[in-house]
Amino acid sequence: MEVIIQKDAATAIDLTARLICDAVQEKKDSVLGLATGRTMENLYANIVKRYENDEVSFSRCATFNLDEYVGLEPDNKQSYRYYMNDLLFNKINIDLEETFLPNGVAADLAKSCQQYEEKIIDKGGIDIQLLGIGNTGHIGFNEPLSSLASRTREKALAPITLEQNGPLFGDLEEMPKRALTMGVGTILDAKKIILLATGKTKASILAKAVEGPITSMISASALQLHPNCVIICDEDAAEELEGKEYYYRIFENEPEWQTYH
């Protein structure tokens, strides 16, 4: 695991966007694992701008999203399919038939989840998996006590997650209480992982995930096991990292990091 601390959220987002776009330009048929949430909104705007400036093409890419709410149709404005189409897919040159999300309205959710796993394998696996981190330490919707070997499945949402996301629905009672999510094991299968975290509200949980024990109570802590994982955060999110001076020194002095400037 490598930790790259940037001065502010905009710089952290810009670096993340550049890494993703550079990787797509290097491997035109990249398979991207994508995330949703507030942290990603500005990231996708940055990626769209790079596309509009002819810095990157997504014409041969495929994407797999981490999760989707159970019971929301794709055209529901609170669904993650709507979110992705609105903020990214409809603004770049990707084939919508090559953008995949778990099917939260499938007649057989368990079978649909298994098919999702098979589709990822059929595409050759995920080259770069983008992640945020939730207030419970979840990646995807892998809430506390999620198995670190788990695969795509249905998951009950934790009270903290409901409280955090509920306002987006206007009324907490309108928010689905369950979601389909890639498992921790599915995420760890990605060839490279980039986790983006910004803001003081993420400082405590990021420190636990990066420097604390590996535990199913904080699914993001499993990223410590991945051989090619990069944590990109701003100074606010890095506030409680005990090793932050060491992380700064690596970034500033090691030649292999110079391409990130």
22 is a catalytic site residue: no
Q: Which helix (H) or strand (E) holds 155?
A: strand 153-156
Measured CA distances, 166 to 107, 113, 141, 192, 200 (Å): 25, 25, 14, 31, 20
Structure tokens at 129: 């998996």
> Of 14, 68, 143, 189, which is the active-site residue?
143
Measured CA distances, 188 to 67, 104, 112, 155, 229 (Å): 15, 23, 20, 18, 9
> Of 67, 68, 189, 234, which is the active-site residue?
67
- The span from the CA of 83 to the CA of 235, in Å, is 28
- The span from the CA of 212 to the CA of 1, in Å, is 13
Q: Which residues pair with 218 in a beta bridge?
A: 215
67 is a catalytic site residue: yes
Give the DSSP letter string of 103-152.
Answer: -TT-SSHHHHHHHHHHHHHHTT--SEEEE---TTS-STT--TT--TT--S
Task: Please report which residue ranges of the chain form alpha helices under DSSP H.
Answer: 9-26, 38-52, 80-87, 109-122, 159-165, 184-188, 203-211, 244-253
> Of 68, 138, 189, 226, which is the active-site residue?
138
Name the residues annotated as catalytic. Answer: 67, 138, 143
